Structure 1
Amino acid sequence: MMSDDYLVECKIDDDEDDDDDEERLHQTPPPPAQFSSSTDPFLSQPETRDPYDINQHLKIDFSDVLAEPPSTHSADRVWIYSSIGFESVRIWSYRCISALCALPLSLLSGCLFAWLACLHIWCVMPCVQVCHSCLPCIRSLWLSVVNIFIAPFCLSVSRCCSFIYISLSKE
């Protein structure tokens, strides 16, 4: 069965004239925000700053944190002002904290990733290339050790454990 994530909503309006449909077919849609041209690159930022939904767990709403059951309700104005207060404090606290921490942490993480890239390019990969090209004897010896001792051991353990069955039941 297909999940609802793959379904696409199609709006069909049969009341319009056919001439409008032909005009719409020949028009090109506007480009997405990340591909639109602008003189200032900082003004034409894409709408989403989390395109891969890395921080999906941080999308918190007032009703996710506070909720009143049907049996107990506060006054409507109290609920509305609480919601406004919660959202305002959440947004402005995040803005203030990010204003204080964003620049130093971005500089620190930029330095960290630059350091890792430098180590990988200038230290790790040359050592790997030396091992691959200049030391084939050690490489073949290591492969022999792995194939003689480690692979049979792992195969034996996997065969011993392959007959273990776990059944879960609710009682």
Structure 2
Amino acid sequence: MRLTPTLIDGVVVVESESAADDRGSFVRTWCRDTFAAAGLDFEPIQESLSRNLKTATLRGMHIQGAPFGEQKLVRCLRGRIFDVAVDLRPDSASYCRWFGLELDESRDAALFLPRGVAHGFITLSDDAWVHYMIDTAYAPGHAGGVRWDDPAFGIAWPTEPVVISDRDRNWPDHV
């Protein structure tokens, strides 16, 4: 398992090595010891699955507020997505910066997001399944977000959304 830091402090690309033979393959998708050795204190207590029917479905940008901030490990199990993290921590050197990468079912990769970092994605294929490992229980009263096209971030989405919820369309600008 290889953990590669990004330009946003604490956001890490997690790449796993697959062992394959005539039976198929096997891959370790998370290891507490590997994360701890990299200085990442992450103990998931919840898993979630987002099934997205159509290409250009946008979900985000979501964040859960204090004291229920979440750390997440996000992976695409089926199809393809462009996954995005935005740093909303005012005291961070990477405040308001974004990082994005393509995740798909054939790449043994995931994106780790620390507390205070908003998350969203847009599907690049029909029938895209996104799996989350999360270290904090969902607290609906603390769920929040920022607009996916907020000019304060300047996210370079690879395509315009076709399917987006009213809630995600109407999040406020950050600044």
Query: TM-score interval w.r.t. the shorter chain?
Result: under 0.3
Rg larger for: 1
What's the TM-score once normalised by structure 1's chain length? 0.19
The higher relative CO (CA closer than 8 Å, separation ≥ 6) is in: 2
Higher helix fraction: Structure 1 or Structure 2?
Answer: 1
More strand by share: 2
